[in-house]
Structure 1
Amino acid sequence: MDVFAFLEARIRDDEDAARCGFLTSVPTAIFPGGPVSSRGTELSPPMRQRVLNECAAKRAILLHCMLHCSDSGVEVLAVLARVYKDHADYQETWPSHRMSQWPPQSGHAAYT
């Protein structure tokens, strides 16, 4: 599986979960106060919409990179894929060598 197929599958997983109202394997720090059940973290209707909007944005980035980007585009997708690094299909070999220390620490240029 390449990074394109991997991201498409994870985006689809996130969309399906948001439509059902639950995200699985989400740290409660990301969605504080959301009830957690065996199905995952329960999402409020506004949070469901935010997750669906995020999925649409990720899909737009994926499509743009597929159609218009060179190797640097694949690196961007590898960075997006790192969000899902705990997934069984994630591959450390995807070209995200510039992002080996992700997320950046406080004080890093990404935060300025």
Structure 2
Amino acid sequence: MITITEFLVARIAEDEATAQAFGQATGSLLLEEDASGDLMLTIGADRVLAECAAKRAIVEHWGPYETLEGPDLLRALAAVYADHPDYQPDWAQEG
């Protein structure tokens, strides 16, 4: 079974790779309309990379203290990826 720390490190790496593939952008948020008229929120690659760095620092700090369920902060970070097939329902925060 994958640990919450391993799960987060893998998701952060995926997010970083995606942001790097799209290159460095302005870092600003942009709300725009797509071809079908739906609104889309675009976040610049540099913003995504900065968030990945922050998440990685949190995981590196708290990962060694991981328990089966993980510290609340790691559980909160993992919740963002709850739709991922490797996400464990036991990681869901109570409340």
Relative to the length of structure 2, the TM-score reads 0.71
**Secondary structure, aligned partner of 2:80:** helix
Quick one: which of 71, 74, 92 aligns to 1:74? 71
Map of 1:51-90 to 2, 5 A cutoff?
Answer: 51-67=48-64, 69=65, 74-90=71-87
Note if 1:3 corresponds to 2:8: no
Deviations 1:59-98 (A, max 9, x none): 000011024x466962210110000111000111026224
Structure 1 gap segments, 5+ residues each: 23-29, 99-112
Partner of 2:32: 33
AA in 2 matched with 1:15 = E
Aligned pairs, how many?
83
Percent of aligned pairs with the same amino acid:
39
User: Residue 74 of structure 1 contacts residue 95 of structure 1 at CA under 8 Å; is this kept in 2?
Assistant: no
Partner of 2:19: 18
Please give the alpha-carbon distance, in whole angstroms, between the structure 2 residues aligned to 1:35 and 1:62.
35
**Secondary structure, aligned partner of 1:17:** helix
User: Residue 70 of structure 2 contacts residue 91 of structure 2 at CA under 8 Å; is this kept in 1?
Assistant: no
**Secondary structure, aligned partner of 1:11:** helix
AA in 1 matched with 2:22 = G
Relative to the length of structure 1, the TM-score reads 0.61
Partner of 2:26: none
Structure 2 gap segments, 5+ residues each: 24-28
> RMSD value over aligned CA atoms?
3.0
Please give the alpha-carbon distance, in whole angstroms, between the structure 2 residues aligned to 1:5 and 1:86.
16
Tell me which protein shows more strand as a share of its residues: 2
The structure, 1 or 2, with the larger RCO (C-alpha pairs under 8 Å, 6+ apart) is 2
Note if 1:48 corresponds to 2:45: yes
User: Residue 5 of structure 2 contacts residue 66 of structure 2 at CA under 8 Å; is this kept in 1?
Assistant: no
